Structure 1
């Protein structure tokens, strides 16, 4: 988020009518309204709020996955002079990391190049195939840090939250009614340069197709508040009701007004919404009573400083806000979730030589959207008179192997007939998977009778 104020924006700027656009949000809010227990609204959030009472269609986003992205961004900064700023190698490395994840998940990615302050900058835009191209739901965050530090809360938190929601879209095999688009902006810290560049290049027709732009700039502040953008009444209500259903009071964001990447979209007449956990403003006593934390202290004491590291994150705020991102994406896009599914099986026998080279049995997987599951089921049927001799691996389409069974000289039982669970979420589902088996000791031979994958 920028240090200086951007253009002054009206608090509730009128929006033009959009066919089948945000008018549908009101109905969705009614349909998903949650009952709040008397006297509990506004209680300080706890970890339980991250999962309680979620709408059935919206997935829970594991905060551990989001933090894994933050760890990668921290490592990138560490390796590149301590920051991920515009024009610096740490920014390009950050972009390459995010793009690689999206490409592997099946997104159509576009890198837009621009120049600012004498240096080349980049925006990354990712489109999920499908959905009505005349009605686009767009979520974004800025990817750059200031030069003073790694920018893990500002805005690694938004970057990672939006990325993990996009990856969950792929994992779920989500089929949105509207087209889904995600963006990561460059040079936000220099005045929303990247997002301004992107919006300026949209035709009037393309601008009219964006039903909503949701912005997430700082969602894991260490002394957090829960702020909702107040520009569009439907998007404001969407998030106010979601937080109220978790007994979390919200306030309208005024600290970040006009200072982040929603501003160019707002100025172009596109409805904008978003979330914010606070920067260098001071938390009041009333806010500390409502949200917990420390009054008289900034929401983020490391804002735009070298200490904005992976230690500068409140896990609960990060968890809650990332789940809220997912809620907005799922609710506004109005689609159906079809998890990657299907059973793929090989019944072709493969002989296993005694104390010989490894053998492989392949299965070609097609027609499964996105990445494989974090709980991929691998059922194995192997005949062998002394199974302790066997080493069994699953090999993914990327060539990475996942150990299913190690050798064990004391395991004298016969045969391997078992189902293993593998976290293969880093693998694209479609492609050739292999079961690799090796007999590492003498005296026995065996055979792969067959095996199957259940996505």
Structure 2
């Protein structure tokens, strides 16, 4: 993790999830088994294998002056080790030289060549250490966790519903330079292909805790679900906010999350009570020091992180598993029969007026219809869970107009998701009854978006845009 001195303005307000308490174990504890009911479809990642990768990274550092700093011989050898394993497993592997990094060296990108190329779930960790030490927890732990997950995915070769891409970053310790370089190298279309980015930076801190980036987000849901299955009550990773490579992706508008176990901040009494360990001591007392060796690893946290990554991959990108999606309808008060909540609308839009008939029930959303210059809006914010196969927005629209032209759109209804326009209708689309309109919102999986209808009427001759039975079905 990139260093940033703590400040009074950096709050330690941590948000607890609602699950039962299960104490953590010290670094010497034996690895624990995965929660079988939840992770039945996902493989158990061998923590012994993850630790074997850490041993290799430690040996590389020892042979190269005790460090794997970006641009050093130790870093180059680390890239070679990871790359050789991935190539042997069948990955499409690319080295991307970060030319504007403080220490120009390679980002390593590995893509499993199955699943739709425009639906990418990405997992990343920085491979460099600080100059002062070998960087086995920071961040050999994240790097080794992803490497073993990549190898297991290749060995099992399941049917893929999404494309999985792994990355190991150069220059994180100098300011997230490698990941920033990578994101800036992508076109807008390529960025749009990445539906979620998951970051793993320090996932085995010896006095660590269970932290998740953006823990309450839809993107974090599979990571949190796995740790919730142990009753771990994971908390928001406030210490790591803006300090690791997920920040480069978040700045580009890509949904992010990830695991962390803590760095130099102090474990509280409440955290020690629910997770074990020592209150009043740093999560990692060897953070950015020469003592960050293979002895500086909590095997229990490492194991749970590695298995949580596997669970997330299988939930989001693998076909035939338990699925990361609960089929449900996401729109609240979809037929407007329960008043205005949770809709936001211009006054009078949601109405049971008999001037226009509802499709079902008595209420509907009636935009415009004044015959004068007028604008009405209707909107609702909704979170689309990641991991579903389908995301279908549907609504019924009736357009009644006094306009007689067959060529000019005087009055218009615009349908938007965020700032993106899905469709525009006008007085030219008038119909005697309701017509169902349907849109695929799969590109917004894992995001919270605002659905908005805006009706704009000109100065004469009314057009009414009447909406009813709005649904957003995921399955």
Report the TM-score when normalising by structure 2: 0.62
1:232 Cα deviation from its structure 2 partner = 6.7
Does the CA contact (< 8 Å) of 2:31 and 2:303 recur in 1?
no
Q: For residue 304 of structure 1, what is the aligned residue in structure 2?
A: 288
Does the CA contact (< 8 Å) of 1:232 and 1:272 recur in 2?
no
Q: 1:186 aligns with which of 170, 174, 189?
A: 170
SS at match of 1:76: helix
How many residues align structurally? 309
SS at match of 2:204: coil
Q: For residue 3 of structure 2, what is the aligned residue in structure 1?
A: 3
1:117 Cα deviation from its structure 2 partner = 5.9
Does the CA contact (< 8 Å) of 2:19 and 2:228 recur in 1?
no
1:134 Cα deviation from its structure 2 partner = 1.0
Q: 2:232 aligns with which of 248, 255, 276?
A: 248
- Which whole-Å CA distance do the structure 2 matches of 1:298 and 1:50 have between them? 27
Q: Over residues 242-272 of structure 1, what are the superposed CA-to-partner deviations in whole Å (9 max), with x where a residue is unaligned?
A: 2111121110110000100000100000010
Q: Over residues 334-379 of structure 1, what are the superposed CA-to-partner deviations in whole Å (9 max), with x where a residue is unaligned?
A: 3248xxxxxxxxxxxxxxxxxxxxxxxxxxxxxxxxxxxxxxxxxx
Evaluate the alpha carbon distance shift between residue 80 and residue 48 of structure 1 in structure 2; reply closer, same or farther with a 3 A threshold: closer
Q: 2:24 aligns with which of 45, 50, 53?
A: 45
Q: 1:201 aligns with which of 185, 204, 217?
A: 185
Q: For residue 262 of structure 1, what is the aligned residue in structure 2?
A: 246
- Which whole-Å CA distance do the structure 1 matches of 2:71 and 2:31 have between them? 41
Q: Over residues 185-222 of structure 1, what are the superposed CA-to-partner deviations in whole Å (9 max), with x where a residue is unaligned?
A: 00000000000000001000000010110000000000
Q: Could you list the runs of 5+ residues in structure 1 that have no partner in the other structure?
A: 10-35, 338-455
1:330 Cα deviation from its structure 2 partner = 1.3
Q: 1:173 aligns with which of 157, 164, 183?
A: 157
Q: Over residues 137-176 of structure 1, what are the superposed CA-to-partner deviations in whole Å (9 max), with x where a residue is unaligned?
A: 1001000000000000000000000000000001111221
- Which whole-Å CA distance do the structure 1 matches of 2:62 and 2:156 have between them? 33
Q: Which one has the largest radius of gyration?
A: 2
- Which whole-Å CA distance do the structure 2 matches of 1:232 and 1:171 have between them? 32
Q: For residue 153 of structure 1, what is the aligned residue in structure 2?
A: 137
- Which whole-Å CA distance do the structure 1 matches of 2:65 and 2:76 have between them? 13
User: Are 1:281 and 2:240 matched, yes or no?
Assistant: no
1:118 Cα deviation from its structure 2 partner = 5.3
SS at match of 2:133: coil
SS at match of 1:175: coil
Q: For residue 334 of structure 2, what is the aligned residue in structure 1?
A: none
Report the TM-score when normalising by structure 1: 0.65
SS at match of 2:280: coil
The 5 A counterparts of 1:230-241 are 230=214, 233-241=217-225
User: Are 1:98 and 2:82 matched, yes or no?
Assistant: yes
SS at match of 1:119: coil
When the two chains are superposed, the root-mean-square deviation of aligned CA atoms in Å is 2.2
- Which whole-Å CA distance do the structure 1 matches of 2:102 and 2:247 have between them? 23
Does the CA contact (< 8 Å) of 2:101 and 2:178 recur in 1?
no
Q: Over residues 422-448 of structure 1, what are the superposed CA-to-partner deviations in whole Å (9 max), with x where a residue is unaligned?
A: xxxxxxxxxxxxxxxxxxxxxxxxxxx
Structure 1 runs, 4 residues or longer, greater than 4 Å off = 46-49
- Which whole-Å CA distance do the structure 2 matches of 1:226 and 1:50 have between them? 17
Q: 2:92 aligns with which of 95, 98, 108?
A: 108
Does the CA contact (< 8 Å) of 1:126 and 1:182 recur in 2?
yes
- Which whole-Å CA distance do the structure 1 matches of 2:24 and 2:225 have between them? 15
Q: 2:64 aligns with which of 63, 75, 80?
A: 80
Evaluate the alpha carbon distance shift between residue 315 and residue 231 of structure 1 in structure 2; reply closer, same or farther with a 3 A threshold: closer
Evaluate the alpha carbon distance shift between residue 325 and residue 118 of structure 1 in structure 2; reply closer, same or farther with a 3 A threshold: closer
Q: For residue 361 of structure 1, what is the aligned residue in structure 2?
A: none
Does the CA contact (< 8 Å) of 1:229 and 1:275 recur in 2?
yes
Does the CA contact (< 8 Å) of 2:95 and 2:109 recur in 1?
yes
Q: Could you list the runs of 5+ residues in structure 2 that have no partner in the other structure?
A: 11-16, 322-475
- Which whole-Å CA distance do the structure 1 matches of 2:101 and 2:230 have between them? 44
The 5 A counterparts of 1:433-448 are none
- Which whole-Å CA distance do the structure 1 matches of 2:278 and 2:65 have between them? 32
Q: 2:312 aligns with which of 318, 323, 328?
A: 328
